[in-house]
Chains A and B, each alone.
Chain A
């Protein structure tokens, strides 16, 4: 919450508090690697949150926040001034990863500060309880071979058949049964003729 100076557990905390939250977290990211990846399921540890104090020239003092398991982070005790917040993740793309933060009289205003936007100041700053940073997509690091047979089949109108094993078996069996008389004609013409005879006989019986 963005709030004014307040007492906190017996100690005096001065300045505003910037709370952030990562939202729209996908259920489970697909991990494609034959080798174990360090911290691969701990997505939060693979997010860096840096807040640069733009007043503190020439060093531009950097504060760091860790993202906890509830996907939140916090910068307590921000004094008045301008800050640049940069949030980056190894696994996800955010709707915006750069924010300009203005703290005036312990009130915080947040502006999105995209790299390609030169007209930040025309944006109206928002005073909100918590800064929500939305995940828009999962980063895909591996290129997939396009047009593989399997993929082509799945993307075809018959794709729904191949997605289900039972349907696939039924489809193959039907196809084999349908084609069998024609194939038999090439392999064993006599047997095929005999079968045709039998079939004709049966038809005649039915006609009678």
Chain B
């Protein structure tokens, strides 16, 4: 029995330790940054690059991790969000990376100089005007060309100096000027063939016919003439007729003759001699010379899809042709991609295809060659789900326990003792034989207490045509399904969890995957063309799900079971009409409709299915109860008429009757796109941004109460919706303003609905704010001080203040700023702890998850619990106990001596 108790104690302690670990698991904040798609990249080292991503975020990324597969990961070093600028900028936004700065330019941005190290903005002078091009001369100076044909020298601090080139010639806005640097002086070569020396003023140097290529210090003109700029700044022609030359260095030129590469050396008298001829297996269509401080390479284009790299570093130093190293680049690569040389004897080629970034690296010292890719992630907003992570170990243990459960208490006790003895045996074996403590992987030994914090966020990645499951604890990828569609048939109709499987319905086929590992169940089921929605329904079999596909007014069952008979579907037609359907005998029959032709339906929302309520009313100071209006079949609708005036309607979802309506002030001008609606418990909250009369974010709160007030606690009989008058007469309504613009809304969910509700709002500034519902209370006392009766008539009553102040302690993502877009979704999910709700936000840019505890952590020790104080108190108590024991012993001994004497 003692051993039994000991084991129980050990298991309990282990569980407590585990509980503390889980309690602190979410304290660590994290944002998992995704890759929303690359528009343009420029590598600054073999594993670091600057890129323009998504809808206009400039980032510096570092390639991380070695993956056996092609896919690699990257982490953000810094990011500058330029999405706030106009959309036009996104299409025309470009950047140029110089030694220590990134120069970004676009129509309304003009020119911004950003520090390469930390992404800090050095300057953004919009008065420079529209910039068409920014580039560096080989010497390092940065130049910009304005839309009106001006040439500017751009200093490191972002200031510009205009170069009076217009005196001679205007820059062609459609072309990029080219530069040479000789003796630390820059020369500009224009498309017209004119060359100018750039000092404090501009001086013409000469003219070459038909420029085709500019090297670092020489110019190839026409197809066969090469000019050099000598150190004194004069233009001289090499007296040799080339075929298709490329300048490698000042004294080295490579010419193409069919499949032959001719290596020339330029002599001091400006003549050229062939020093080496190299024969290739196929005709050469182009050659490109690239160099850095250490190395010089030649990229040879053998055919449109086959590239070869020749490393000339040693050859140029010793003129020995056998020191030229050769590498082929994969045939999938294209010549237009950027190629950089790193100092570690590595050539890196990068290319963007469909916003995915492909990297091929070749190290000529080790001969290692690899192709890697960073794939774009496009989260389909229709697909985002949060589910409990299936726990195989706990599930199998529970099943095993259920299987061995007997009606006899003695048998059950024996089974438990045997299980515990076997556990201690395993523990002993683990410690003695393996010299280690068992881990959670050693199933069954210390079954982890399942607090239900482990969730999976699932989404359909439009780019890769896979479903991805991400862990909410650290944002790691749990599994991905196989690729099951192509770009042409990836239109998603709906994705949901039905009968514990992931069901993905695309326009023409339906797929089922295992929630545990993402493996496919059976082949895809093909559907007819023309469906627009997939709707999950309760099946006629208890606890089972089924689904239908909708094509206009037609519904077809594609799920495995018949749907339950009373299911109602509400759909939005042309944004002016709501139509409800009732399912009967396997068919959907239209019941009611709502809407008028001059009112556009902006939002409509029903009460969420997962909403739970434990408290059915508010006890007032006179001991009467103000009952909540908890009729579940209500639908909130917000419409806007031609004048932009919005109206709120609360409808009975069964009969279509209007239960409550509220028309906004016609003088109010608001941003209709900003309206968000939330329903839960007995309240409705909707938010909108107002332009007039004041520029502010508003939050309207409606609390609905039942007509059956003051029943004095008498039970309300269950009545049919068709018999009872469901009209609401007691609607408490109040409006608040908030300093930040709100983009999305969601309410927290707990298992039993005992815990207070919080409203999670995502602001434009990337903060997830938790508003306790008692703050957004429509029953706040207006225009007078709170009385004792007020204090007794509500939970934490407050006096009405129009502004809900910003409280940074209520920001769930703390200092982490999330990238916000309209497609993002806030997800909430209950846990096994009633106090706690998991909250996530995901879009194509990032994923953030945390826990919310609207009533604080009343059923688990919170992170603020002072363990040290507790330990010190216990120690002090033990010491006091020992000291007092000693004192008492001594005193009694002393007294004994006295007594005896």
Contacts and interface: CB of A to CB of B under 8 A. Distances in A.
Interface of A: 8-11, 13, 17, 31, 33-35, 37-42, 44-46, 48, 50, 52, 54, 57-58, 60, 62-69, 74-77, 84, 86, 88, 90-91, 97-98, 113, 115-116, 139-143, 145, 147-149, 186, 189
Interface stretch (B114-122, B340-348, B486-494, B569-577): B114-122
Contacts, number: 144
B485 interface: no
Contacts of A113: 695
B880 interface: no
Nearest to A185: B890
Given A35-B29, A39-B119, A74-B125, A145 B864 contact: yes
B885 to A, nearest CB: 11
B interface, how many residues as a size bin?
Answer: 35 or more
B30 interface: yes
A68 B104 CA distance: 14
Interface stretch (B46-54, B599-607, B700-708, B814-822): B814-822
Given A45-B119, A115-B737, A141-B814, A38 B79 contact: yes
A45 B121 contact: yes
Contacts of B865: 145
A50 B866 CA distance: 43
B5 interface: no
B118 A11 contact: no
Nearest to B160: A9
Contacts of B33: 38
Nearest to B865: A145
Contact of B695 (A46, A68, A84): A84
Given A9-B160, A38-B76, A77-B127, A90 B868 contact: no
27 contacts: A9-B162, A10-B162, A33-B814, A33-B816, A34-B29, A35-B30, A37-B815, A39-B119, A42-B120, A45-B81, A45-B119, A46-B817, A52-B691, A54-B691, A57-B669, A58-B691, A66-B80, A68-B121, A68-B124, A76-B126, A84-B695, A88-B739, A90-B766, A115-B803, A116-B801, A141-B808, A149-B868
B435 interface: no
A149 B887 contact: no
Interface of B: 28-31, 33, 76, 78-81, 84-85, 108, 112, 115, 118-129, 146, 148, 150, 160, 162, 644, 669, 671, 691, 695-696, 737, 739-740, 764-767, 801-803, 808-809, 811, 814-817, 864-866, 868-869, 872, 883, 886-887, 890
B123 A68 contact: yes
B886 A9 contact: no
A77 B801 CA distance: 39
A137 to B, nearest CB: 10
Closest 10 CB pairs of A and B: A141-B814, A145-B864, A76-B127, A64-B84, A68-B121, A84-B695, A139-B808, A69-B120, A66-B124, A8-B127
A45 B80 contact: yes
A147 B872 CA distance: 14
Nearest to B118: A42
A42 B77 CA distance: 12
B393 to A, nearest CB: 28
Nearest to B804: A115
Given A50-B84, A143-B864, A149-B868, A40 B122 contact: no
A29 B469 CA distance: 36
B119 to A, nearest CB: 6
A161 B801 CA distance: 46
